Structure 1
Amino acid sequence: MRTVRQLLESKGSEVFSIGPDAAVIDAIRLMAEKGIGALVVLEPGGRLAGIVSERDYARKIVLEGRSSRDTPVRDIMTADAVTVGLDDDAPACMQLVTERRIRHLPVVVDGKLVGLVSIGDLVKAVIEEQQFELEHLQRYIKSEPAVGHRAP
């Protein structure tokens, strides 16, 4: 099973963030510019304050008729973000995102943000693992004589 550490090593650990006092419009612009669906929200000292996503924007700005220019990120972000560590494995993370109905997991070590994994990263890792196991089993089956069959 691939660990979060291995996922970050292969995809990189660059994380885009915004401060909690920034206007929501700035967060949306940054997400659009970077082609991403969420930003980590960091306090000035670098402490994880939460996460803000396009889903937060749709539900808490658009549907409530609020102004994205006048509303700070802290008012719509998810403050109690679910986090994982470097040694967590992809299936455990997949279970977390499925159960919690979330798409992004900040990776935190000793209180410091070190990366972010998305549901897409996890799906890719699980598929690669399953493909590896399938190929391994196919090679094993092809190399063994069939049960009850004697070699000449």
Structure 2
Amino acid sequence: MPSSYQAPSRKDKMQKKTRSQTSTTNTGTETATVSRLLAGKGKDVFSVRPQNTLLEAAELLRDKRIGALVVKDAAGKLQGILSERDIVRRLAETPGKTLSQNVEDIMTRRVEVCAPDDALISVLRKMTEGRFRHMPVVEEDAVVGIVTIGDVVNYRLSELEYESLQLKQLIVG
């Protein structure tokens, strides 16, 4: 036996054990919501009016490096949504005559919206089933944010990585 070895004593067992984690912290079930996503992403919403031209909308999409614009009237009420896809489709339908057309001519008028308290999984389901990538967040008739399918997927991936780390730490102790 090495000379530095000391057999365990009663005093060793009396030492207080500390744990950095508990079953509660490792198995928490907080629901991921739109408001939690927006807290990390920000609430910037870029919009155009129905009377703006598609050229103006395309320039704003380019300058802000985004894929969709909320369409609001003069009072700020949601009228529709315009995406890059909408513009591209119209370019194919009316070559050379598209950019002078108004946003209201091609915007989607029936807009699916979500609320800040909505679960991200339900938002993702709506986007997948409806085959669209952008959803305005509305609270008390005001647009307070916009989420994209990429935002939701990235948020969920980060959440899964965190859950995986928690499980590893729970197993290792």
Q: Tell whether the structures are fold-level matches, with TM greater than 0.5.
A: yes
Corresponding residue for residue 138 of structure 1 = 168
Rounded to whole Å, the distance in 2 between the matches of 1:91 and 1:129 is: 12
Q: Which one of 148, 151, 160 corresponds to residue 121 of structure 1?
A: 151
Letter in 1 for 2:58: I
Rounded to whole Å, the distance in 2 between the matches of 1:111 and 1:91 is: 23
Asked if residue 72 in structure 1 is aligned to residue 102 in structure 2, the reply is yes
Give the C-alpha shift of residue 141 in structure 1. 1.8
Rounded to whole Å, the distance in 2 between the matches of 1:89 and 1:133 is: 18
How many residues were matched structurally? 142
Rounded to whole Å, the distance in 2 between the matches of 1:5 and 1:30 is: 25
Identical-pair percentage: 39
- What 5-or-longer segments of structure 1 have no aligned partner? 144-152
Give the C-alpha shift of residue 69 in structure 1. 3.4
TM-score with structure 2 length normalisation? 0.79
**Kept in 2: contact 1:20–1:42 (CA 8 A):** yes
Rounded to whole Å, the distance in 1 between the matches of 2:76 and 2:64 is: 21
TM-score with structure 1 length normalisation? 0.89
CA-atom RMSD, angstroms? 1.1
- What 5-or-longer segments of structure 2 have no aligned partner? 1-30
- Higher Cα Rg: structure 1 or 2? 2
Corresponding residue for residue 58 of structure 1 = 88
Matches within 5 A, 1:29-108: 29-59=59-89, 61-65=90-94, 67-108=97-138
